[in-house]
A and B are shown apart, each in its own frame.
Chain A
Amino acid sequence: MSSTRFDAEARQGLAMVSPPLIYAVLMLAAPLITILAYSFFKDGYLEVIREFTLENYRAVWSDPIFHKVMARSLGVAFAVTLATVLLAFPVAYFLSFVVPPERKALWIFLITIPFWTSYLIRVFLWKVILGHNGVINSTLTSLGIIDEPLGFLLYNVQAMVITLAHAYAPFAILPIYVALEKIDRSLLEAGRDLGESRLMTFWRVTLPLAMPGVIAATLIVFIPTIGDYVTPELIGGGKMPMVANMVQANMLALDNKPMGSALAVTAMLIVTVISLIYLFLNRRFLRVKQ
């Protein structure tokens, strides 16, 4: 039995949270459940037949194109995540340990500005840089270094990885920085006092304590990257679809909503399973209490 005071508080809290909750249920939960339901329905001409079937999933799982697209999406997302997190760590470390406290806000502001400026423009700029008549090619041609524009710069997986790694770079810094800020500095002094070298202190004290931030950064980059639509469209030239493009093509161009839904649900499941395995493998770092 809970006390009346708790009941009153619970009622007030629920009343307070109800407007955003109702909005999220209508605009987020209901559409997601619809997608889930559609993935078990049959596709008819111009309409969806409400009849339970597992056919869509069978088709998705046995489709060699889906295998290829999913493998490409995973490959790109892994490469982008690895690059962003490795490149971000020293910056986060610098922010936390070297920058004086009164300058920190300015540095963070500078790093987060590109994060908030149009993602589409940042992707498009890479197309401008790498394109057939782009900055690199036309500059090299006008300088007489090459005769023909280089064709291998754009429309391939490497170009997509560069673009995405650049677009998501700031995402990785903040979680790692926050984890580093939480580390009790006296632990590091203790490490040094007990005769550890600077490097060993970093390896045995700083890094394990920073791991929750690194893990968060990995997932923050990995999840949106794998669902990216714009980069394969612009930088991949539409010829290197990732899973988001395949979902979109099935939903709209092919007008097969059950199939598109099954693809979306499958992709989300794969991402969730990978994230959970990753969290499980790193569980010993997440148990650390600050």
Chain B
Amino acid sequence: MKGSGLRAYAIAYLIFLYAPILLLPIFAFNSGTIIAFPLKGFTTDWFAQMLANQTLRRAFTNSLIIAISSATFATCLGVFAARASTRFNFPGKTGIMGLIMLPLVLPEIIIAMSMLVVLLAIGVKLSIFTVILGHTLICLPYTIAILSTAFNSLDKSLEEAAYDLGETKWSAFRLVILPLVMPGIISALLMSFTISLDEFIIAFFLAGNEPTLPTYIFSQLRFPKSIPVIMSLGTVLVVMSIILLAVAEYFRRRGLARTGQKDHGGFL
């Protein structure tokens, strides 16, 4: 059969990709205190300990505030950039868009370090607010990538029809364009929320003494006895990411269907 060897390889590749992640739930529910086979027995103690942990709750609240704020800011800025780059021609467009998209290829450590140096120099106190500034910056290119697809698929004549029927620029945007790109906006929000929730480097350097979920995980890795709790936390995080991504994918596809496009698959 055509491609059966390739299919077997692709499936093996998927198993390799997922195998480490599958360890998370296995050990999160294992009653043994060390992470090792054979498994001891079933327990939900680690999840109970996780819920009872005060620092972890604080980290969770912080991460939530950071992720919601960054996702909102990045998506708002992304709407402007995506609309500008898909609808208008202006001088310096390549350079301007290049600068905005740069965090996509710049190692995060460079972004974190340079922001840290500037924040310290101008005397801004490190807090979750500074993490939000950083996360907004790194989420912005992803929102633009998603939103550009949404804006690109718009038929320009719909907008012109709205003008001809007496709508102003703003009301045409609100009544015609916005509903059509709404699935893209929701998809961009969810995507940047997920990125921010999982992001470690920028949170590690810009949060000061405030814990976020990834920096809390990092701080606990040195202690073998807290590993089972980290396993259950990791399980929760991965499940959350998968749910968010599935919802984002659903909205992305709905957006394509609404504007009558063919699905080419993939986020980027």
A residues neighboring B (CB under 8 Å):
6, 9-14, 16-21, 23-25, 27-32, 34-35, 38, 87, 90-91, 93-95, 97-98, 104-105, 107-114, 116-122, 124-129, 133-135, 137-139, 142, 166, 169-170, 174, 177-178, 181, 219-220, 223-224, 226-230, 234, 244, 247-248, 251, 257, 260-261, 264, 268
Query: Is B83 an interface position by the 8 A CB rule?
Result: yes
Q: List B residues at the A interface (Cβ < 8 Å).
A: 2-3, 6-7, 9-10, 13-14, 16-18, 20-21, 23-24, 27, 34-38, 76-78, 80-81, 83-85, 87-91, 93, 96-97, 99-100, 102-103, 105, 107-111, 113-118, 121, 133-134, 136-137, 140, 144, 191, 194-195, 198, 200-201, 205, 214, 217-218, 221, 224, 227, 230, 234, 237-238, 241-242, 245-246, 249, 253, 263-268
Max chain B CB contacts within 10 Å: which of A137, A174, A223, A229? A229
- Among A27, A118, A260, the one with the most B-chain Cβ atoms within 10 Å of its Cβ is A118
- Closest A residue to B22 by CB, please name it: A125
Q: Which of B10, B93, B102 contacts A28 (CB 8 A)?
A: B102
Residue of B nearest to A127 (CB): B221
| Chain A residues with CB below 8 A from B117, complex form | 31, 34-35, 38, 251, 257, 261
Task: Please give me the residue from chain A that is nearest to B252 by CB atom.
Answer: A105
Given contacts A17-B80, A142-B36, A224-B107, contact A264 B113 (CB under 8 A): yes
CB closest chain-A residue, reference B100: A24
Q: Roughly how many angstroms separate A28 CA and B133 CA in the complex, as a whole number?
A: 10
Name the A residues within 8 Å of B89 (CB-CB): 6, 9-10, 13
**For residue B2, which residue of chain A has the nearest CB?**
A98
For chain B, what secondary structure do more than half of its interface residues adopt (helix, strand, loop), or is it mixed?
helix
Residues of A near B80 (CB, < 8 A) are 16-20
B198 near A119 with CB under 8 A, answer: yes
Contact A118-B241, Cβ < 8 Å, known A19-B77, A95-B10, A125-B24:
yes
13 contacts between A and B (CB under 8 A): A11-B90, A14-B90, A24-B102, A28-B111, A30-B118, A31-B115, A91-B9, A104-B264, A107-B10, A109-B249, A128-B227, A174-B268, A227-B109
Chain A nearest Cβ from B8, distance in angstroms: 10
Do the beta carbons of A129 and B20 come within 8 Å of each other? yes
